[in-house]
Amino acid sequence: MEGATVFLGFLYSSLIGSGFTVLIILIKLIGNSKIGARWHYYIWFLLLARLLIPFTLDIPRRVLAQFYPLLNQLWDTRTKVLILPNPLTNSHPSFGFTDFTPDYALSVSGGFLNYHLKAIFLIWLAGILVVSILTIIRNIKIWNQLKNRQTVQRQEVVELLARCKDKCRINSRINLAQTDIIQSPIITGIVNPCVLLPTYIIENFTVQEIEYIILHEFAHYKQKDIFINWLTCILRILHWFNPLLWIAFFKMNQDREIACDACALSFLGSEHCKPYGETIIAILWNFSSRQGLPVTSFIRNKNHLKQRISMIQKYHKESSTKLILKTVFGVILGCILVLATNFNTGALAYDIPALKEEIINEDLSAYFKGYEGSFVLLDEKAGKCFVYNEQKSRERVSPCSTFKIVTALAALQTKVLNDENSTMQWDGTVYPFADWNQNQTLASAMKYSVNWYFQKVSLQIGSQNMNNYVHSIAYGNQDLSDGIADFSQKDALKISPLEQAVMLKAFFHYQLPFSSNNIDVVKKVLRISEEKGATLSGKTGSGMVNSKYINGWFVGYVEKGNDVYYFATNIQSEDNASGQEARNITITILNEKGIY
């Protein structure tokens, strides 16, 4: 599923890019002449930055979900299906001294997108392949044509090139050539740049007119537009399915030419505006559209020409103060927009600032056969944190029913529940789990992971209170936009195994913003068994999509003498990755280590 997850990242990034495109166009329409010709181009770099940054600061999914209701339906539509506990034979046998309760779980329908994710991923790859091949073929054809270029023989034009370089303060070597293949000036080549002029320009245009053209192409060079062309080419290939981004890149190319006109005129002065515009019109008469991705073209089409002539007529050189202010404002706006828009695209690795123990990596792969997963064991007394698969231990995934620990604490703190014996009445709904079909206390609901009990409790706590508690304890990504009464495979709320272990340590030492009495109640209901002087406390969690176990948790701690060991195990697979399996793996490892 890793490849499909990568596609989801690009899909969400593409959707955000679409939003950026609309926003940028609106800014350009509102600002219009106030923005300035160059900033009409530079503002598109916000879009490029957002598409290139793999992850940023989190904002709730519901914000962007408002703009993409169709995607939200495809991705989040869930038909609750009650299923029986995992019937699979345990690959890691439970030890005879402990009688564990079943790990009950609800399945969710992943929606069209989730269910057909592999097929969509393959279609995306096929699209990338097709567009890449077409791009390569077209560029090879263009490169072969451009091989027939000739050295410029007109001496006054050769000398002009050196003067233009001095005027633009360019020290690098830039070649000048002519060819009959093209009808519009271009600059090509990142390593060995070359200005290519049509032969008719060399033969028929005045030196002054050719200077305008060369300065325009040098403006492309100074703006690194050849590199930007390649970058947008790659992004077009990756986002081939998004027409809005293709439109954005087309608009960006048009604004680039206008920005280069402004840059060229800044080297010349406003008195050259009229002859500069006349030069552009003269080239248009000889122009026929030839497009190539690795080059920049002087003329695009007649409609674009009108925009350029309009800018040239209104051109005036900006003062240094005004330019600095625009630059500062642009940088601040860019940082805000780029760093504050993330669609919560999935599991990413995070540092755990509260972890004080030394991390020691262990090879426990033999216990995780058939699963991707991680095991974290925090030995407080030794000051060490033993980790299997550190990368996975830092990746945030849905907490599933392990989040019921936080729900119980919040319910006690808000007086929705009083103690472990607080009872909720069963409403008569028949579930396939006999343990669910009766009145429940907090103790029994935690033991049998009774969803309906915690759903009622969550609704009484309220969204605002639950959000406050989740933020105050820094629980994972702190995103409850999927709702507070869903303990299945959440898409929004995510936490890493390392974060789970650190939170359990804070919980055990009464360092969370809950009263000591309420923490003691939750400690009591989390207690599973006591064997040979060691007490095991914990909670399982299972994520099911389309009736398949894809995400299993077992988190908790072992009290043994004066030592406390905090653990978190997470396993993932296309199926059979349940909380029950995560628990069995954990108990096996703890037994091998002589802890439990």
DSSP codes of every residue in 111-168: HHHHHTHHHHHHHHHHHHHHHHHHHHHHHHHHHHHHTT-EE---HHHHHHHHHHHHHH
66 burial level (CB within 10 Å; 0-12, 13-18, 19+): exposed
Q: Please give the residue range of the domain that contains residue 299.
A: 142-318
Q: Is 365 a catalytic residue?
A: no
- Contact (Cβ atoms closer than 8 angstroms) between residue 281 and residue 306: no
| Last-in-domain residue among 301, 318, 335 | 318
Give the residues across from 538 on adjacent strands: 556
Side by side, which strands form the sheet with 194-198?
150-151, 175-179, 194-198, 186-188, 295-297
Please report the beta strands in 249-379, taking only residues with DSSP state E, as ranges in sequence order: 295-297, 358-361, 372-379
- Residue 488 in contact with residue 551, Cβ under 8 Å? no
- pLDDT at position 64 is 43
Does 342 score more than 60 pLDDT? Answer: no
**Do both 207 and 290 map to the same domain?**
yes
Instruction: Return d(Cα 345, Cα 357) in angstroms, integer.
Output: 30
Residue listed under structure tokens 């529940």: 417
> Does 25 reside within a domain?
no
Q: d(Cα 518, Cα 407) in Å, to the nearest integer?
A: 12
Query: Within this chain, do residues 407 and 451 fall inside the same structural domain, yes or no?
Result: yes
Q: Which residues contact 382 (CB under 8 A, 6 or more apart)?
A: none
Q: Are residues 173 and 285 in the same domain?
A: yes
What letter does residue 183 receive in the DSSP assignment?
S
More confident residue, 107 or 103: 103
Per-residue CA distances from 148 to 194, 272, 435 (Å)? 13, 34, 82
Residue 530: C-alpha distances to residues 394, 525, 584 (Å)? 30, 13, 16
Give per-residue pLDDT as tens, 194-223.
999 989 899 989 999 999 999 999 999 998
Of 417, 430, 429, 431, the C-alpha closest to 524 is: 417
Are both 288 and 363 inside the same structural domain?
no
**Residue type, position 333, single letter:** L
Query: What does the alpha-carbon distance between residue 33 and residue 143 come to, in Å, rounded to a whole number?
Result: 38
Lowest mean pLDDT across 88-92, 146-150, 155-159, 198-202: 88-92
The residue from 401, 449, 458, 496 that is catalytic is: 401
378 and 314 within one domain: no
List b or e across 238-265, with b for residues whose CB sees 16 or more CB atoms inside 10 angstroms. Answer: bbbbbebbbebbebbbbbbbbbbbbbbb
Q: Does residue 299 have a pLDDT over 60? A: no
Contact of 25 with 44, CB cutoff 8 Å: no
Residue of 54, 67, 73 whose CA lies nearest to 9: 54
Arithmetic mean of pLDDT, 381-387: 93
Report how far residue 366's alpha carbon sits from residue 228's, in angstroms, rounded to the nearest whole number.
48
pLDDT digits 0-9 by tens, 553-585: 999 999 999 999 999 999 999 888 999 999 999
* 53 pLDDT higher than 70: yes
H or E element that contains 107: strand 106-108
The answer as to whether 152 is a domain residue is yes
* Mean pLDDT across 71-99: 40
Q: Say if 337 falls within a structural domain.
A: no
Q: Is the per-residue pLDDT at 427 higher than 70?
A: yes
Q: What is the pLDDT of residue 130?
A: 95
CATH code of the domain covering residue 219? 3.30.2010.10
Could you tell me how far CA 523 lies from the centroid of its own chain?
37
Q: Name the pTM for this structure.
A: 0.56
Lowest mean pLDDT, pick from 217-226, 265-274, 498-507: 265-274
CATH number, domain with residue 526: 3.40.710.10
**Residue range 221-243: average pLDDT?**
92
Average the pLDDT over 368-391 and give the result: 93
The DSSP H or E segment spanning 565 is strand 563-572
Domain count for the chain: 2
Using a pLDDT cut of 90, give the percent of the chain over it.
46
Task: Identify whether residues 401 and 292 lie together within a single domain.
Answer: no
Residue 395's DSSP bridge partners are 349
pLDDT at 365 over 60: yes
What DSSP state is assigned to residue 175?
A: E
Taking the CA atoms of 244, 246, 249 and 254 in sequence, report the sign of the dihedral they define. negative
- Residue 308 region, left (φ>0) first, then alpha (ψ -120 to 50), else beta? alpha
Whether 78 is covered by a domain: the verdict is no
Least reliable range by pLDDT among 31-35, 313-317, 365-369: 313-317
How far are the Cα atoms of 214, 269, 428 from residue 177, in angstroms, in the given order? 11, 27, 85
Residues 148 and 283 in one domain: yes
Encoded tokens for 275: 């002859």
Residue 257 tokens, joined: 């030419």
Q: Is residue 137 part of a domain?
A: no
Within a domain: 56? no
For 531, the 3-state DSSP assignment is strand
In sequence order, which ranges of 399-496 are alpha helices (DSSP H)?
404-413, 442-447, 451-461, 463-472
Q: Considering the domain boundaries, does residue 218 fall inside one?
A: yes
Distances (CA, A) of 511 to 210, 473, 520, 568: 74, 9, 12, 19
Q: Identify whether residues 452 and 375 lie together within a single domain.
A: yes
Are 361 and 245 in a shared domain? no
Rg of the chain, C-alpha, whole Å: 32
Would the CA dihedral through 201, 202, 204, 207 be positive or negative? positive
* pLDDT value of position 594: 92
Judge if 299 and 373 occupy the same domain. Answer: no
Q: Are 290 and 155 in the same domain?
A: yes
Report the 10 Å Cβ neighbour count for 63: 11
Average pLDDT, rounded, for the chain: 81
Q: What is the dihedral of CA 322, 328, 331, 332, to 10 degrees?
A: -120
> What span, in angstroms and rounded, lies between the C-alpha atoms of 416 and 294?
65
- What average pLDDT score do residues 460-472 get? 92
CA distances from 7 to 68, 125, 152, 352, 435 (A): 17, 9, 48, 27, 41
Same domain, 380 and 282: no
